[in-house]
């Protein structure tokens, strides 16, 4: 019989594997969406907010960063 999920524990682990490189990849995708003339205004607004939530320009990672 499957055990019920421990939601508090699962919530605590959320984002645990999010590295600076993964965050940067997300930011790059959203930035590309903002510059794509074929995406909707609603999609661009979502990407604009997502970039802000990721930290704006600070979300972009390079191998030389010491974060």
Rounded to two decimals, the pTM is 0.66
What b/e string do you get for 34-57 counting C-beta neighbours within 10 Å, with b at 16 or more?
beeeeeeeeeeeebeebbeebeee
Residue 31 C-beta-side C-alpha neighbours within 13 Å: 13
Does the pLDDT at position 40 exceed 80? yes
Half-sphere exposure of 2 (CA within 13 A, CB side): 3
Q: For residue range 51-65, what is the model confidence (pLDDT) as tens digits?
A: 999 998 888 887 666
Integer Cα distance of 46 and 26 in angstroms: 13
Share of the chain above pLDDT 70, in %: 72
Q: Torsion over CA of 30, 57, 48 and 51, rounded to 10 degrees? A: 60
Task: Check whether 12 has a pLDDT greater than 60.
Answer: no
Report residue 20's pLDDT band, with 50, 70 and 90 as the boundaries.
confident
């Amino acid at each position: 019989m499957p055990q019920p999920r421990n939601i508090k524990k699962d919530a605590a682990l959320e984002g645990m594997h999010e590295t600076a490189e993964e965050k940067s990849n997300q930011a790059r995708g959203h930035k590309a969406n903002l510059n794509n003339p074929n995406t909707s205004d609603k999609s661009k607004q979502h990407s604009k907010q997502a970039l802000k939530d990721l930290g704006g320009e600070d979300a972009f990672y390079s191998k030389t960063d010491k974060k």
